[in-house]
Chains A and B, each alone.
Chain A
Amino acid sequence: MKQVFLKITENKKIAKDVWLMKLEGDVSAITASGQFVNIKLDGFYLRRPISVCDYDENTLTIIYKVVGEGTEVMANLECGTELDVLVGLGNGYNLSKSGDSPVLIGGGVGVPPMYNLCRKLIEEGKKVKVILGFNKEEEIFFEDEFKALGAEVYITTVDGSYGTKGFVTDVLKNLDYSYFFTCGPMPMFKAIEATAVTSGQYSFEERMGCGFGACMGCSCKTKYGNKRICKDGPVLEREEIIW
């Protein structure tokens, strides 16, 4: 973990209530797909934990949904603004278990962390399938971006306005895959848990105090003992999760 000041170079709406922000600066502390950053905003006491969509040596891309006062302030920030950010938080996904043909499953704002993961797995020569689940067409983002990486992309919408009508598991049940990685809402996780035929990794969300393991605000019980979502997670392996 490192505390850094990052400059906003892009902040644009990419779907209904969904924004993409690019930041520039020292992000060398980010070491794994699925980690998150914790952003300080003027006027708010706690930081905002946001998952990393993509990163390289000095740029960071995050995608966030405007759901409350904090994210509303973020959506109004202008390019050039400097943000106080803790980077390199959380464990991130462990790619070594993916096998040759992993499937990545993202639901809504759980889609972003799949992007860097997808890029890395394809760079490793894996054949990657991606299932992106949304409620309706106007919420869809990053379909083309995943395709450009070379992934086989499936889109589901609950109302059937685009792609397969239904849930990510309606696609998952018909796919062959060696392993799964997922991030999204709890109902989606429970459906995946009931459907998936391989081992996999889930990235969890919880209200956090600090984001770096000090306050015990986001603890959960696992088969391997108590874990802090922010420090020992957010990624947990299927075998250790107590549902």
Chain B
Amino acid sequence: MVNTKVELCGITLDNPIIPASGTFGFGYEFAELYDINCLGTFSFKGTTKDARFGNPTPRIAECDRGMINAVGLQNPGVDAVISNELPKLKACFNKPVMANVSGFAVEDYVYTCEKLDKEEQVGWLEVNVSCPNVHGGGMAFGTSAEAAAEVTKAVKAVTTKPVIIKLSPNVTDIVSIAKACEEAGADGISMINTMLGMKIDLKTKKPVIANKMGGFSGPAIKPVAVRMIYQVYEAVNIPIVGMGGVSSAEDVIELMLAGATAVEVGAANLIDPFAARDIVNNLPAVMEKYSIENLSDIIGGAH
């Protein structure tokens, strides 16, 4: 009997599998398909201070072993999330949930995090300083160590729950940004957000996506995620939530060996709505295959 439990910032997860923000809504769409309580937790749809429609369509483009999205943080705003979405989430999920937050100014992050921090079911705040699809904010905070640290410090000052900073891979040196977040008080790092990409339609000779560029995700980016997690693991002492192209239990183990304590599953949920459940179900057999008794023992095992 293998043990899939891991501890993330003081909260024990039954398993390290976490559907990633933006691919799992507020859970209830998936709860119609299976009991989502089998998951470690999930990170809900990126929430901002005010309601956002997001970018014009088309917002999606297919690529080899992946996809590009430029949704642009569509969400009903934090107040509507708290009053309309969280009650529905609570009705189908009974574990602590990860609240994903985005903003366009430090004050936005502070406002939204402070409100979500008070919600009983919120276990962690995942602060997205790395959305590539919004202008004048988002990724701008995650591409500078100083700005990422400033957001971290400001959010930590008004919250009590563990704060996990979600980092962008679209940077020269992700290690220095991760270290700056740790020094500013972050309780964890999650990485990697999507990679900035583009696709051009040969028939129209124009970008497929209305926003022109978007976030590239899917199995094609996994090697980049593994490499970056490996580098950041060597540099920080706070837990890493790894993600990037994960579609199988084998991928989960690979990211954990690189240094991840828990692993998010993103694009895979959109191709196969049962992907996260299937990974949870397959994990024990794959652990046995690789002679892993306690999953938490392999974190950073590749170092």
User: Chain A residues in contact with chain B, CB under 8 A?
Assistant: 1, 3, 40, 44-47, 86, 206-210, 212-221, 226, 231
Contact = CB atoms under 8 A, between A and B. Distances in A.
A214 B69 contact: no
B273 to A, nearest CB: 6
B23 A207 contact: no
Nearest to B219: A45
Contacts of A210: 23, 269-271, 273
B231 interface: no
Contact of A219 (B22, B30, B57): B57
Interface residues of B, number: 35
A44 B65 CA distance: 7
Given A46-B67, A219-B74, A86 B273 contact: yes
Interface in B20-38: 22-25, 29-30, 32-33
Contacts, number: 88
Given A45-B67, A215-B23, A40 B271 contact: yes
Nearest to A40: B271
Contacts of A218: 57, 59-60
Given A214-B24, A215-B22, A206 B274 contact: no
Contacts of B54: 216, 219
Contact of A45 (B29, B64, B273): B64
Nearest to A226: B53
B23 A208 contact: no
Nearest to B30: A214
Majority-rule SS of A interface residues: loop
Interface string B192-214: 00000000000000001000000
B74 A209 contact: no
Given A44-B62, A206-B58, A216 B274 contact: no
Interface of B: 22-25, 29-30, 32-33, 45, 53-54, 57-67, 69, 71, 74, 208, 218-219, 267, 269-274
B29 A213 contact: yes
B258 to A, nearest CB: 23
22 contacts: A1-B33, A45-B63, A45-B66, A46-B67, A86-B273, A207-B57, A207-B61, A207-B208, A209-B67, A209-B69, A210-B23, A210-B270, A210-B271, A213-B25, A214-B25, A214-B30, A215-B60, A215-B69, A216-B22, A219-B53, A219-B57, A219-B71
Contacts of B71: 215-217, 219
A92 to B, nearest CB: 17
B62 A217 contact: no
A143 to B, nearest CB: 29
A45 B65 contact: yes
A44 to B, nearest CB: 7
A219 B54 CA distance: 9
B270 A209 contact: yes
A50 to B, nearest CB: 15
A214 B273 contact: yes
Given A86-B273, A214-B273, A215-B22, 17 more contacts: A3-B273, A45-B63, A206-B57, A206-B58, A207-B57, A207-B208, A209-B67, A214-B30, A215-B23, A215-B60, A217-B57, A217-B71, A218-B57, A218-B59, A219-B53, A221-B53, A226-B53
Contact of A214 (B23, B57, B67, B218): B23
A210 B270 CA distance: 4
A212 B273 contact: yes
